[in-house]
Chains A and B, each alone.
Chain A
Amino acid sequence: MSGAKPFDWRHTPGLSAYTALIFLFFYAPLLILVIYAFNSSRLVTVWAGFSFKWFVAVANNGSIRDAAFNSVIVAIVATIASTAIATAGALALERGRLRFGRSAATALIAMPLVVPEIVVAITTLIFFSGLGMHHGLVNLMIAHTVFCIPFALLPIQARLRDMGGTLEEAGRDLYADEWRLFRRVTLPLLIPAISAGAIMAFVVSLDDFLISMMVSSAGSTTLPVYIYGMMRLGVTPEVNAISTILLAVSIVFVAAALLVGRRNRFA
Chain B
Amino acid sequence: MGPNRTYLLIAPAMLVIGIFMVLPLFLAVAYSFMTANPYGGVTAPATFDAYLQFLYQRDFDDSLVFSPSYALIILRSIYLAIATTLICLVLGLPVAWYIVCQTPERRRVLLFAVTLPFWINTLIRTYCWILILRDEGLANGALRHAGIISDPLPLLYNDGSILLGLVYTFLPFMVLPIYSTLERIDPRLIEAAHDLYASRAAVFRRIVWPLARPGALAGATLVFAPALGSFLAPDLLGGGKKLLIGSLIQMQFTSSRNWPFGAALSTVVTVVVLTVFVIRSRRAQEERR
Contacts and interface: CB of A to CB of B under 8 A. Distances in A.
Given A29-B168, A33-B124, A122-B28, A251 B7 contact: no
B25 A119 contact: yes
B181 to A, nearest CB: 17
B3 A26 contact: no
A108 B231 contact: no
Contacts, number: 258
B250 A122 contact: yes
B112 A258 contact: yes
Contact of A44 (B24, B114, B131, B229): B131
Interface residues of B, number: 90
A125 B41 CA distance: 10
Given A23-B113, A118-B246, A45 B10 contact: no
A155 interface: no
A210 B113 CA distance: 25
A210 B141 CA distance: 32
B199 to A, nearest CB: 11
Nearest to A228: B123
A254 B129 contact: no
B27 interface: yes
Nearest to B270: A119
Contacts of A19: 94-95, 98-99, 110
Given A45-B141, A254-B119, A29 B95 contact: no
A44 B236 CA distance: 18
Nearest to A208: B121
B130 interface: yes
Contacts of A96: 1, 3, 5-7, 9-10
Interface stretch (A57-65, A138-146, A190-198): A138-146
B98 A15 contact: yes
A243 interface: yes
B116 interface: yes
A108 to B, nearest CB: 5
B176 interface: no
* Residue with the greatest number of chain A CB neighbours at <10 A, chosen from B101, B168, B172: B101
A185 interface: no
**Contact residues on A (Cβ < 8 Å of other chain), bracket:** 35 or more
A206 to B, nearest CB: 8
A235 interface: yes
Nearest to A200: B119
B101 A11 contact: yes
B132 A12 contact: no
Contacts of A109: 13-14, 17
Contacts of B226: 116-117
A88 B12 CA distance: 8
A130 B119 contact: no
B6 A12 contact: no
Contacts of A29: 125, 128-129, 131-132, 168
A224 B9 CA distance: 34
B2 A97 contact: yes
Most buried by A among B1, B117, B168, B269: B1
B122 interface: yes
Contact of A12 (B97, B134, B229): B97
A86 interface: yes
Nearest to B96: A19
A227 B232 CA distance: 13
A214 B158 CA distance: 26
A235 B259 CA distance: 32
Contact of A116 (B91, B98, B110, B246): B246
Contacts of A121: 250
Interface in A44-96: 44-45, 84-86, 88-89, 91-93, 95-96
Contact of A97 (B1, B40, B266): B1
A18 interface: yes
B82 interface: no
A111 interface: yes
30 contacts: A16-B98, A22-B171, A26-B114, A29-B131, A33-B128, A88-B12, A96-B5, A97-B1, A109-B13, A111-B22, A116-B230, A116-B270, A117-B231, A118-B250, A119-B249, A124-B20, A124-B24, A126-B263, A129-B41, A146-B20, A149-B17, A178-B5, A203-B119, A209-B121, A210-B250, A214-B250, A231-B123, A250-B120, A250-B121, A251-B119
The 8 closest A-B pairs by CB, nearest first: A116-B229, A96-B6, A29-B128, A123-B24, A127-B24, A89-B13, A92-B9, A92-B10
Interface of A: 7, 9-12, 15-16, 18-19, 22-23, 25-27, 29-30, 32-33, 36, 43-45, 84-86, 88-89, 91-93, 95-99, 105, 108-109, 111-112, 114-127, 129-130, 142-143, 145-147, 149, 153, 178, 200, 203-204, 207, 209-210, 214, 224, 227-228, 231, 235, 239-240, 243, 246-247, 250-251, 253-254, 258
